[in-house]
């Protein structure tokens, strides 16, 4: 079924039958399941973390330890494997000169020891803010990490603010120069230093304290390059007008720069408000994306949770050579392996079924404008290089060719061409319906293009005679001959009119190979090659609402409602489309979901199936979800040869399958084993 002459629609009917059988078998398995599957999400790289803003009893470590215990138990009971309290939380950041009181310092250590013992049965690493004094009289503002009744380390604050409302240097010294084991008479041996990391399976976290993240050379930079994929920050950052916005931007950018998750635990309003107010602005980001954020100015204790994806972060680092090649000396870093299981059986993280489509309408409009401008600019530059005098484009009345035509019209304007220099060609064949043919003609006319209608029926019929093919045999030969004839017409017209053939195929079609090799697979420049199918309709809608002339809007809206089809097989007796792409391949939104998480994040087929089941719950059945996923994994490797020889086109997002840009794969690669693992997982979990 695969060779240099294979068309996109290769395996159309066979694949349809194959998918139906697989879907039926696994639907039966799903119906027989008696209970929800016992899936440990830690195996997918998910870890729940918690930022806690407790009620603070200023200067009373005993009361604070009791508050910490209640909240630590609650967070651990909710599945959090890392629980972080604010800066100086055990005594209160605003205790001021009480930090110089010997009894107060001693009581903090006793209260810490009690808290460590009381939480020994919790399956979590806990980080508490402690004012730690060493035997030589030096005091450090530290984050103490402990679990299962053992203190693993104390991380000191490096950058001490001593300006404005802050007087840290009055009570503490910087921990920049200390990295040693302290033998404390109450707490025992504790590693005190900033160069230490804490490991829970794939999750590795390091700590910094408040001002450290505001500094030019943050400790978290070194920690991330030493292996930390989570940075926790114990903070007591006060509130002033506009500071929260700046703080969010700071954490967002730090997490993005470090390709890490960042947990920021902030002191709340029960700290002293003598001259400052604390809002409890806790937040958790992952590689520049906000996962959760606390309500500020709440007097009740606040726990902010997020499920971070460590596998995703590690994949991002693996593909980012700038991060990977940054020099660091891991020999200077101590890594503690914590005895925390971190089991997680429920996911509190939403995944949009449409990852390429922003949920916010303003973001969607902005994204659409940006993508459209990239497409137009790419086409203009290509036309200048080719010294083209026209654009030639095959229009079918479908979504892809419509978007390509709109891009061509705007590109012509930038080139100061007449709209007549855009040559729109409809080439009706054996499967063309009246509705789509008329839509293509109407759109071309309202846009002012040169319009040509060239039937391919006579030439393809003659071609069947030439090669000895029975036209009653509606197979790949029947379909692909039409696609290749259309491509020949377009290129010959381009020769005649000094034109550039504008390709219409999209990213999704390229991924599953749903294009005819050396047919609609080929063009002079593929303006849609970086745009997934689920985004095409939104781009057309955006153009309709923001740029289209009034007379063009009705036809654009009509096209947006049409079924997706190559229209290569004869229509029904009523003139309706019978060859519906999504009945053959599966739903494009499911396929696009797989594309996003397979190509961009490197997720396993099992993880993608789990997330798709969650994202499309109530939208599609498990059988439909499995059909789309199976379709991708079955077709993606087999059709790499089409992507290897695909024409150039603009990269508009984070995913490109161009052999000259992001994707380097051999034509002979196989990933059938990934499907086998998925099917074994489904059978084992009785999904």
Please identify every residue annotated as catalytic.
Answer: 87, 157, 210
Give the Cα separation of 314 and 228 in Å (integer). 10
Cite the DSSP H helix spans in 637-671: 640-644
Give the Cα separation of 657 and 530 in Å (integer). 8
CA angle 75, 81, 86 (to 5 degrees): 60
Cite the DSSP H helix spans in 415-448: 434-447
Give the Cα separation of 521 and 32 in Å (integer). 43
SS3 493: helix
Tokens of 215: 């500094």
Give the Cα separation of 685 and 603 in Å (integer). 19
Would strands 289-293 and 283-286 be described as parallel, antiparallel, or unpaired? antiparallel
Q: What are phi and psi of 341, to 5 degrees?
A: -75, -40
**Residue 238 per-residue DSSP state:** B
Bridge partners (DSSP) listed for residue 303: 52
**Residue 278 per-residue DSSP state:** B
Closest residue by Cα to residue 244 from 298, 300, 294: 294
Give the Cα separation of 642 and 521 in Å (integer). 7
**DSSP letters along 168-227, please?**
GGGT----TT-EEEEEETTTEEEEEESSEEEEETTEEEEEEEGGGGGSSS-HHHHHHHHT
Closest residue by Cα to residue 536 from 509, 512, 567, 517: 509
**Residue 331 per-residue DSSP state:** G
Q: Taking each helix axis from N to C terminus, what angle separates 361-386 and 533-546, rounded to the nearest 10 degrees?
A: 90
Give the Cα separation of 364 and 352 in Å (integer). 14
Closest residue by Cα to residue 200 from 118, 123, 262: 123
């Amino acid at each position: 079924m695969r060779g240099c002459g294979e068309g996109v629609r290769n395996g159309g009917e066979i694949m349809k039958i194959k998918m139906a059988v697989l879907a039926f078998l696994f639907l039966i398995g799903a119906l027989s399941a008696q209970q929800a599957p016992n899936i440990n999400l830690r195996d997918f790289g998910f870890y729940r973390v918690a930022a806690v803003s407790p009620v603070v009893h200023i200067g009373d470590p005993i009361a604070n330890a009791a508050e910490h215990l209640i909240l630590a138990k609650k967070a651990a009971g909710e599945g959090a494997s890392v629980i972080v309290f604010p800066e100086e939380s055990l005594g209160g950041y605003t205790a001021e000169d009480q930090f110089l009181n010997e009894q107060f310092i001693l009581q903090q250590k006793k209260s810490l020891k009690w808290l460590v013992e009381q939480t020994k049965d919790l399956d979590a690493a806990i980080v508490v803010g402690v004012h730690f004094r060493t035997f030589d009289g030096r005091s450090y503002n530290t984050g103490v990490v402990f679990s299962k009744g053992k203190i693993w380390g104390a991380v000191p604050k490096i950058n001490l603010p001593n300006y404005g409302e802050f007087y840290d240097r009055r009570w503490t010294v910087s921990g920049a120069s200390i990295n040693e084991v302290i033998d404390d008479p109450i707490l025992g041996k504790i590693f005190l230093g900033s160069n230490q990391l804490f490991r829970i399976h794939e999750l590795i976290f390091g700590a910094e304290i408040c001002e450290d993240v505001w500094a030019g050379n943050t400790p978290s930079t070194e920690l991330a390059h030493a292996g930390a994929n989570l940075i926790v920050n114990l903070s007591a950052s006060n509130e002033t007008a506009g500071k929260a916005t700046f703080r969010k931007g700071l954490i967002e950018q730090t997490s993005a720069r470090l390709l890490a998750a960042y947990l920021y635990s902030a002191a709340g309003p029960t700290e002293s408000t003598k001259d400052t107010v604390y809002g409890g602005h806790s937040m958790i980001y992952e590689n520049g994306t906000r996962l959760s954020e606390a309500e500020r100015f709440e007097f009740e204790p606040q726990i902010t949770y997020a499920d971070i994806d460590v596998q995703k972060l590690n994949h991002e680092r693996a593909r980012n050579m700038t991060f990977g090649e940054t020099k660091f000396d891991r020999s200077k870093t101590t890594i503690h392996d914590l005895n925390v299981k971190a089991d997680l059986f429920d996911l509190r993280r939403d995944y949009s079924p449409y990852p390429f489509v922003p949920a916010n309408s303003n973001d969607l409009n902005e994204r659409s404008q940006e993508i459209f401008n990239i497409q137009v600019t790419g086409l203009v530059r290509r036309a200048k290089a080719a010294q083209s005098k026209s654009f030639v484009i095959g229009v079918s009345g479908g979504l892809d060719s419509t978007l390509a035509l709109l891009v061509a019209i705007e590109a012509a304007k930038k080139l100061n061409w007449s709209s007549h220099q855009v040559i729109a060609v409809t080439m009706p064949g054996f499967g063309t319906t009246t509705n789509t043919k008329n839509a293509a003609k109407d759109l071309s006319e309202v846009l002012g293009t040169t319009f040509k209608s060239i039937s391919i029926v006579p030439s393809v019929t003659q071609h069947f005679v030439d090669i000895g093919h029975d036209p009653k045999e509606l197979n790949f030969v029947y379909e692909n001959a039409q696609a290749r004839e259309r491509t020949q017409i377009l290129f010959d017209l381009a020769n005649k009119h000094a034109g550039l053939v504008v390709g219409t195929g999209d990213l999704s079609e390229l991924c599953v190979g749903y294009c005819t090799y050396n047919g609609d697979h080929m063009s002079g420049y593929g303006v849609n090659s970086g745009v997934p199918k689920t985004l095409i309709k939104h781009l057309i809608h955006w153009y309709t609402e923001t740029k289209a002339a009034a007379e063009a809007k009705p036809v654009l809206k009509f096209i947006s409602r049409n079924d997706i089809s190559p229209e290569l097989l004869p229509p029904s007796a009523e003139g309706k489309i019978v060859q519906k792409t999504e009945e053959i391949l599966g739903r494009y939104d499911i396929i696009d979901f797989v594309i996003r998480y397979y190509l961009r994040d490197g997720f396993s087929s099992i993880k993608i199936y789990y997330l798709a089941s969650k994202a499309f719950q109530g939208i599609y059945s498990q059988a439909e979800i499995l059909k789309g996923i199976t379709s991708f994994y079955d077709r993606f490797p087999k059709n790499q040869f089409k992507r290897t020889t695909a024409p150039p086109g603009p990269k508009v997002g984070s995913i490109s399958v161009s052999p000259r840009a992001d994707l380097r794969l051999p034509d002979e690669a196989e990933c059938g084993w990934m499907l086998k693992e998925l099917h074994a997982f489904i059978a084992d979990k009785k999904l």
